[in-house]
Amino acid sequence: MMMKIGRGLMVLVLALVGMNGMVNSQTITFIDDTANIRYDTEPNDIILDSLVNPKDFNKEYKTWKVYFDHNKKQLAFESYLENDSICIHNDYWRNGRLKRKGTFYKVTNDFFGWGSDETYCSNGQLLCKCCFNDDTLCIGYYCNGQKHFQYNRIEGAYANGLYLVWHENGQKMSEVNFVKHVEEGEKKYWDEKGKLQKIEVYKEGKLIETK
């Protein structure tokens, strides 16, 4: 979405994991040689930089912590069970602010499904809040507080209706209509001064004309 920012390569991990949810062991290691986690880049959400992910799926919905430092004062990630059916994943920026909060709901004894996500800039500005519920308005922001995008989310993952995108200065960037996540009709593009640049015409998701 925006300029890629630097990511720390050496990250200290304190993982408290247990197959039955209890603390069985404590692992401290660096991100470049750990067998327990990955510090993954997010190419489709560049502003978030990187997120912590466990390599072992069985450890993903347990109570554990990941720290940036040996003194365990800079928390990078935490996972905890809010109750028997809800697990919370929190990622943090190095300045201590919340980066992402993910809520997961137990579907079966062995599986948690995604329920909602909140993402934040390092300055605390809300970037986006989305949930799995149908007919949910999904709104995203830039780190300066300007609205970035807006669309209606259906069936847990699909855009439906008008999808609007704005430049960081507040001018509209593009708009297009979706029918169950398939582009349909005219897609218009504007520059940062508000001048219409081009119009693309889509039919059932296929580009058929450019004006």
Each residue of 148-161: pLDDT tens digit?
999 988 876 688 89
Contact indicator for 32, 10 with CB cutoff of 8 Å: yes
Provide CB contacts within 8 A for 188, sequence distance 6+.
Answer: 174, 175, 176, 196, 198, 199
**Cα–Cα distance, 84 to 200 (Å, whole number):** 49
Tell me the pTM: 0.73
Give the CA count within 13 Å in the CB-facing half-sphere of 75: 14
Each residue of 95-153: pLDDT tens digit?
999 999 999 988 887 788 888 889 999 999 999 987 766 677 889 999 999 999 999 88
